[in-house]
Structure 1
Amino acid sequence: MAVYCTTWTFYGSVGRAAVSGIGFLPVYLGPTLVMALGWFILLKMIRIVKANRITSIADFISSRYGKSHLLGGLVTIIAVIGIVPYIALQLKAVSSTVGLLLSYPEIVMPHRSPTMSVAADISFYIALILAAFTIVFGTRHLDATERHEGMVAAIALESVVKLVAFIAVGIFVTYGLYGGFGDIFEHLATHPELQRLATAIPSGQGYTGWFSLIVLSALAVLFLPRQFQVAIVENVNESHLRRAAWLFPLYLLLINVFVLPIAIGGLMHFSGQGVDADTFVLTLPMSQRQEGLALLVFIGGLSAGTGMVIVETIALSTMVCNDLVMPLLLRHRGLALSEAKDLSGLLLGIRRGAIILILLLGYCYFRLAGEAYALVAIGLISFSAVAQFAPAIIGGMYWRGGTRGGALAGLLAGFVVWGYTLLLPSFAKSGWLPGDFLTQGLFGIELLRPLQLFGLTGIDEISHCLFWSLLANVGAYVGVSLLRPPMVAEATQATVFVDALRETGPIGAVLWRGRAKVSDLQELVGRFLGPARAEAAFAGYVRRHGGRQGDKPEADARLVQFAESLLAGAIGSASARVMVASVAKEEPLSIEEVMHILDEASQLRTYSRELERKSRELTAATLELREANERLQELDRVKDDIMSSVTHELRTPLTSIRAFSELLRDDPKMHLADRERFLGLIVSEAERLTRLINQTLDLAKIESGRADWNACELDLKEVIEQSVAATSQLFREKEAHVDLDLPDNLPQIMGDRDRLIQVMLNLLSNAAKFLPPGSGRVRVVLSLLADGLQVSVTDNGPGIRPQDQELIFEKFRQVGDTMTAKPSGTGLGLPISRRIVEHLGGRLWVESVPGEGATFLFSLPFAPQHEPAVG
Structure 2
Amino acid sequence: MLPGWLIVAASFSYLLVLFAVAYFGDRRADQGRSIISNAWTYALSIAVYCTAWTYFGSVGRAASGGIWFLPTYLGPTLAMSLAWLVVLKMIRIARTHRITSIADFVASRYGKSHLLGGLVTIIAVVGTVPYIALQLKAISSGYGLLVGELGALRDGEGAVDSGWWTDGTLYIALTLALFTILFGTRHLDTTERHEGMVAAIAFESVVKLLAFLAVGIYVTFVLYDGFGDLYARAVAEPDLAGVLVFDGTGSIGYGGWFAHVVLAGLAVIFLPRQFQIMVVENVNEQHLRRATWLFPAYLLAINIFVIPIALGGLLHFGRGTVDPDTFVLTLPLAHDQAALALLVFVGGLSAATGMVIVEAIALSTMVCNDLVMPMLLHVRRFGLAARRDLTGLLLGIRRGAIVVVLLLGYLYFRLAGEAYALVSIGLISFAAVAQFAPAVLGGMYWRGGTREGALAGLSAGFAVWAYTLLLPSFAKSGWLARDFLDAGPFGIGLLMPEQLFGLGGIDNVSHALFWSLLANIGCYLGVSLLRAPTGQEASQGTLFVDIFRRGESVPTSFWRAGAEVRELLPLVARFLGERRTRDAFAAYARSHGLSGIDQLKADPELVHFAETLLAGAIGSASARVMVSTVVKEEPLGLDEVMNILDEASQVRAYSHQLEEKSRALEA
TM over 0.5: yes
Closer, same or farther in 2 for the Cα pair 1:32/1:251, shift >3 Å? same
Judge conservation of contact 2:550–2:649 (CA < 8 Å) in 1. no
- CA distance in structure 1 between the partners assigned to 2:564 and 2:556 by the alignment: 16
Deviation string 1:840-859 (CA, Å, 9 cap, x unpaired) is: xxxxxxxxxxxxxxxxxxxx
Secondary structure of the residue aligned to 2:555 is helix
Structure 2-normalised TM-score? 0.90
Amino acid at match of 2:238: P
Pairing partner for 2:225 from 167, 179, 193 = 179
CA distance in 2, matches of 1:23, 1:132: 37
The counterpart of 1:211, out of the listed 246, 258, 271, is 258
- Structure 1 residues 445 and 9: CA distance shift in structure 2, 3 A: same
- Write the distance in 1 (CA, Å) between the matches of 2:405 and 2:544: 31
**How far did residue 372 of structure 1 move?**
0.8
Distance 1:156 1:502, change over 3 A: same
Q: CA deviation at 1:271?
A: 1.4
The change in CA–CA distance for 1:330 and 1:104 in structure 2 (over 3 A counts) is closer
Distance (whole Å) between structure 2 residues aligned to residue 112 and residue 541 of structure 1? 62
Secondary structure of the equivalent of 1:401? coil
Measure, in 2, the Cα distance between the counterparts of 1:527 and 1:107: 52
Q: In 2, are the aligned partners of 1:517 and 1:553 still within 8 Å (CA)?
A: no
Q: Structure 1 residue 367: deviation in Å?
A: 0.6
Structure with higher RCO (Cα < 8 A, 6+ apart): 2
Equivalent residue in structure 1 for 2:198, among 148, 152, 161: 152
How many Å separate the matches in 1 of 2:382 and 2:467?
A: 38
1:449 to 485, 496, 519: 496
Alignment of 1:364-379 (within 5 A): 364-379=411-426
**Structure 1 residue 343 and structure 2 residue 424: aligned?**
no
What is the alpha-carbon distance in structure 2 between the residues aligned to residue 542 and residue 421 of structure 1?
55
Aligned CA distance change for structure 1 residues 251 and 323 (closer, same or farther; 3 Å): same
Does the alignment pair 1:19 with 2:60? no
Query: Cα distance 1:275–1:551, how it changes in 2: closer, same or farther (>3 A)?
Result: same
For residue 85 of structure 2, give the secondary structure of its aligned residue in structure 1: helix
Unmatched segments (≥5 aa) in structure 2: 1-45
Cα distance change on mapping 1:604 and 1:542 into 2, 3 Å: closer
What's the counterpart of residue 83 of structure 1? Answer: 128
| Amino acid corresponding to residue 20 of structure 1 in structure 2 | G
**1:528 aligned residue (558, 569, 575):** 575
Amino acid of the residue matched to residue 521 of structure 2? V
Does structure 1 residue 31 correspond to structure 2 residue 76?
A: yes
CA contact 1:492–1:508 (8 Å) conserved in 2: no
Alpha-carbon spacing, 1:231–1:510, altered in 2? closer, same or farther (3 Å): closer
CA shift digits 1:31-63 (9 cap, x unpaired):
111112343101000000000110000000000
**1:279 equivalenced with 2:326 (yes/no):** yes
Residue of structure 1 aligned with 2:187, choices 138, 141, 145? 141
Asked if 1:586 corresponds to 2:586, the answer is: no
1:584: Cα distance to partner? 1.6
Q: How does 1:38-77 map to 2 (within 5 A)?
A: 38-77=83-122
The alpha-carbon deviation at position 606 of structure 1 amounts to: 6.9
Say yes or no: does 1:514 pair with 2:542: no
Q: Deviations over 1:570-603 (max 9, x none)?
A: 1100000000111122233122322333344455
Q: Partner residue of 1:754?
A: none
* CA gap 1:612/1:215 in 2 versus in 1, 3 angstroms: farther
C-alpha displacement at 1:442, in angstroms?
1.8
Asked if the contact 1:22–1:201 (Cα under 8 Å) also holds between the matched residues in 2, the reply is no
Deviation, 1:613, is 13
TM-superposition CA deviations, 1:723-754 (whole Å, max 9, x none): xxxxxxxxxxxxxxxxxxxxxxxxxxxxxxxx
Q: Which residue of 1 aligns with 2:296?
A: 249
* Partner residue in 1 for 2:516: 469
Q: Given the alignment of the two structures, is residue 124 of structure 1 paired with residue 173 of structure 2, yes or no?
A: no
Normalising by structure 1, report the TM-score.
0.69
Q: 1:99 to 1:75 in 2, by over 3 A?
A: same
Letter in 2 for 1:63: S
Tell me whether 271-280 or 567-576 shows the greater mean CA deviation: 271-280
Query: Aligned with 1:583: secondary structure?
Result: coil
Alignment partner, residue 460 of structure 1 = 507
Does the Cα contact within 8 Å between 2:543 and 2:556 map onto a contact in 1?
no
How far did residue 104 of structure 1 move? Answer: 8.7
> Distance between the aligned counterparts of 1:550 and 1:132, measured in 2?
40
Matched-pair contact (CA < 8 Å) for 1:23–1:202: no
Classify 1:485/1:163 alpha carbon distance in 2 versus 1 (closer, same or farther; 3 Å). same
Q: Could you tell me how far 1:81 is from its partner in structure 2?
A: 0.2
Distance 1:566 1:105 in 2: 51
1:193 aligns with 2:232: no
Q: Summarize deviations over 1:534-567 as a string: whole Å, max 9, x none.
A: 1111111111221122443531222111111111
Residues 594 and 600 in structure 2, CA contact (< 8 A), matched pair in contact too: no
Q: Secondary structure at the match of 1:482?
A: helix
Alignment-mate amino acid for residue 352 of structure 1: R
- For the structure 1 residues 522 and 195, does the alpha-carbon distance in structure 2 shift closer, same or farther, using more than 3 Å as the test? same
Quick check: which one's strand share is greater? 1
Shift of 1:448: 0.6
- The superposition leaves residues 469-509 of structure 1 with CA deviations (integer Å, 9 ceiling, x where unpaired) of 00000000000000111101101111111011222234336
Aligned to 2:586: 539
Query: Aligned with 1:316: secondary structure?
Result: helix
AA partner of residue 633 (structure 2):
E
> Aligned equivalents of 1:123 and 1:105: distance in 2?
12
Show the counterpart of 1:819. none
Opposite residue 102 of structure 1, the aligned amino acid is V
Alignment of structure 1 residues 575-654 onto 2, 5 Å: 575-601=622-648
Secondary structure in 2 matching 1:54? coil
Return the offset for 1:440. 1.1
The 8 Å contact of residues 384 and 418 in structure 1, kept in 2 or not, is answered as yes
Match of 1:237 among 254, 277, 284: 284
In the TM superposition, residue 196 of structure 1 has moved relative to its aligned partner by 0.6
Q: Quick one: which amino acid aligns to residue 67 of structure 1?
A: K
Choose 1 or 2 for highest CA Rg.
Answer: 1
Please state how far the C-alpha of 1:68 moved relative to its aligned partner: 0.2
Superposed counterparts of 1:386-401, under 5 Å:
386-401=433-448
Q: Give the match for residue 399 of structure 2.
A: 352
1:439 aligns with 2:486: yes
> For this pair of structures, how many residues does the alignment match?
618
Question: Structure 2 vs 1, CA of residues 272 and 347 (structure 1 numbering), >3 Å: closer, same or farther?
Answer: same
In structure 2, what is the equivalent of residue 103 of structure 1?
148
Q: Is the 8 A contact 1:509 1:557 kept in 2?
A: no
Alignment of 1:679-828 (within 5 A): none
Check whether the contact 2:391–2:574 (CA below 8 A) recurs between aligned residues: yes
Taking structure 1 as reference, are residues 510 and 402 closer, same or farther at Cα in structure 2, changes over 3 Å only?
closer
Identity score, percent = 66
Aligned-partner Cα distance in 1 for 2:608–2:141 = 50
Structure (1 or 2) with the greater helix fraction: 2
Q: Deviation per CA, 1:419-475, whole angstroms, max 9, x where unpaired? A: 001111111100111111111112211111100101111111111011100000000
1:186 deviates by: 0.4
1:352 Cα offset (Å): 0.5
